[in-house]
Amino acid sequence: MNEKKTNIPQELVESYTRKILKALEKAGAKCLEKKELEAKCKISKGSPAAYNAALKELLRSGDVCVRKKGYGLSRIFGLYSAVVVRLSGTFGFVRPELDDEEDVFIPGKFLLGAMPGDRVLYKNIPSRSGKPEGEVTDIIEEADSRITGKIISDDGILCLLPDTMSRTPIRINRRQSVEYSEGDKVLAEICIRGKRHAEHMAKVIFSFGSAETAQSCAKAMTALHGVTEEFSPEALEEASNVPRGTILTEEELSRRLDLRSVPVFTIDSAYSKDLDDAVSIEKTEKGYKLGVHIADVSHYVRPKSPLDMDAISRGTSVYYADKVIPMLPKELSNGICSLNPDEERFAFSALMELDERGEIIKYDFRKTIIRSRVKGVYKEVNKILAGEADEFLKLKYAEVIHMIPVMNELCDVRIRERDKRGAPEIETTESELVLNEQGVCIDVKARTRGKSECIIEEMMLLANEASAKFAAEKELPFVYRVHEKPSMEKIENLEQVLLRLGVNIPDFSDVKPVHLAQILKNAKDTPAYPVINVMVLRSMAKAAYDTQPLGHFGLALADYAHFTSPIRRYPDLAIHRIMSYYCECRNSQKVGKRYKAFVTEAAKASSDAEVKAVMLERDCEDCYKAEYMQQHLGEEFEGIVSGICDFGFYVQLPNSVEGMVHVRTLPEDSEWYNDESISFKEVLGDREYRLGNTVKVKCVKTDVNSGNIDFELSK
């Protein structure tokens, strides 16, 4: 039976909103009971619905709160609205909805059973750390409360031990749950809420198998975050209708620059199937002519189409271990949009002229048709650069091998110029996970980058910079890649730590990229250099996407966007669409009218998706590393102290695996303390473990389910 719809005049709702706020403002700290508030608002006959709608929205927004004696203004009671952003076993964080407010730490006993995504009211409480600390007083809007966890036996009863939220097992509604067994990693949903996390009840909605396998844990985490390999039926149908080969009509050829005679080629890992960028280069009297040719994904993914809706909801492809969860179906990502060798492909090309310093002096963006000559592989190109190419490689790269030394030369020029600009060169250790046929992690290696990886990175940076210059020059609505300067608070904290570590700090009042670059150079020969790299990185603001050209601090560039990966990043696809329309109409006003609202949506969705993907990839990687270390229990390793906390310190091994040395494993005859996150020291002794110190440890415990690894100092 259809409910009768009531059309409430918005003007009337707004009128009652003002009346409610005025009445409660006047009442101050004295709450108004239901009938009192109604009387003061003088509800006219026939308009209770408008009054109720206004009150409901004020409660939902958090502007009005309910106390025992009635209604009041939240701010008068020191209450503020926020969103729960993170839970741990014994605490959580909420993010105030006021701009520029720092996340607030909430002790577990003050969370009121709130779940991630819940909108809450909180009040500030005395802080023990100097950081904002609070207590949740009301849950004003409940989020979809899905959680992951492990099935355990608690006094003979199977319960759910959540990965976050509580260290106490919670009850399971067996009638509403799918089948599960002890030790399973599961996805569950809170079906009954209590006032504490331990009082919640859950139903199991999917079991992924043993929580002792990283594969199961990773699947659970991707499901929790809504990251799935499955596309909508509509998107799959649309993808199935995409042609398998490039259809080049006379009309299409007339709109494109024909570059099929130009020797272009791709350089990727040997395992890559989504080849979305190719390059061509030649040396000139004034410098270089560089072509960066990107798959024309926007030709196939049209605005508001099912493929586009799936792509913007995903925002990015997700990579972990040996898995790829793509942004686009394989018919596009591995098919018609992949610049496979000896196949004609539509591209969007950045055609640049560079001076001898590698600076862009002229650029043009054209829709093109290309034919890649070879699928280049990083390791093979590195061999060519090192003069170690055998006859097979010389034959494979015959049509393009003359370009490789020129690319190498331009790369060296660009790196020198970037250093002159003062861009900090941060070196971090990335991981390479090696899995067997069963999907079990059998090795972890520190990923190394060869010269060919640097070359491609520099070529892509140039195309990205040129695209941002193009948008600024043409005054187009755009999605920029932005990286704002660090906050002074973070820089001051960094300075204090570095001074304690004996690292010289440049004299500055307004932080610039060159200052961080100088810090890294000063720390180069210190034992703590690997740790300082990470600390400098963490002191920076997070890169994001924005509709305004705010510049890129880390690259020391005023103009920057992401143009080069439209197969796997939505912001790249978004700006291809905008630039394509401009190339077609040559009218900035028409472009602005069509895409002004779109860029705001695309920037926010892309930033949110990136944050989710980075966290997910990191958490999955931790599970695989714990799985690998499970095979090395009892073995000894050498590593460096990489982090200090109140209950111990972290040690990172050369292969990038990191584990904790807990204070309880240190000599029992001593007390220990965290000395300003720089060292873990004895209270009444000389022993200490400082950031960057080399230590020998033994792996004593791993937990694949949580991704945690425990070390003890070797005797």
Q: What is the pLDDT of residue 158?
A: 96
Q: What is the pLDDT of residue 489?
A: 84
Triad 579, 584, 587: Cα angle to 5°? 80
Instruction: Using CB atoms within 10 Å of the CB of residue 313, give its burial: 0 to 12 exposed, 13 to 18 middle, 19+ buried.
Output: middle
pLDDT in tens, 382-425: 999 999 999 999 999 999 999 999 999 999 999 999 999 999 98
C-alpha distances (whole Å) from 458 to each of 416, 417, 463, 465 are: 12, 11, 9, 11
β-strand 636-645 against 694-703: which pairing, if any?
Answer: antiparallel
Q: What is the pLDDT of residue 590?
A: 96
Q: Which residues on neighbouring strands pair with residue 682, listed in sequence order?
A: 672
Residue 370 parent element (H or E):
strand 360-377
β-strand 688-690 against 679-682: which pairing, if any?
Answer: antiparallel
Residue 473 parent element (H or E):
helix 451-474
**Scanning the structure block, which residue is given the tokens 């859950």?**
202
Decide: 538 and 446 in contact? Cβ < 8 Å. Answer: no
Decide: 644 and 678 in contact? Cβ < 8 Å. Answer: yes
Q: What is the pLDDT of residue 130?
A: 77
Report the amino acid identity of residue 156: G
Rounded Cα–Cα distance for residues 341 and 244 (Å)? 15
Residue 187 parent element (H or E):
strand 184-192
Q: What is the pLDDT of residue 488?
A: 86
Rounded Cα–Cα distance for residues 196 and 185 (Å)? 23
Secondary structure (3-state) at 128: coil
Q: What is the pLDDT of residue 414?
A: 96
**Cα dihedral 393→396→398→403 (10° resolution):** -80
Q: What is the pLDDT of residue 5?
A: 44
Residues with pLDDT less than 70, the chain = 1-6, 46, 99-100
Rounded Cα–Cα distance for residues 668 and 387 (Å)? 58
Q: What is the pLDDT of residue 314?
A: 96
Decide: 567 and 333 in contact? Cβ < 8 Å. Answer: yes
Q: What is the pLDDT of residue 144?
A: 83
**pTM assigned to the model:** 0.88
Report the amino acid identity of residue 575: I
Q: What is the pLDDT of residue 6?
A: 57
Q: What is the pLDDT of residue 627?
A: 98
pLDDT in tens, 474-527: 999 999 999 999 988 888 888 888 888 888 888 877 899 999 999 999 888 888
Please give the distance of CA 490 from its chain centroid, rounded to a whole number: 20
Decide: 571 and 603 in contact? Cβ < 8 Å. Answer: yes
Dig out the tokens for 186 from the structure.
Answer: 């599961």
Q: How many CB atoms lie within 10 A of CB 514?
A: 17
Report the amino acid identity of residue 681: K
Q: What is the pLDDT of residue 99?
A: 63
Q: How many CB atoms lie within 10 A of CB 144?
A: 11
Q: Which of 570, 567, 564, 563 is nearest to 274 (CA)?
A: 567
Residue 573 parent element (H or E):
helix 570-585
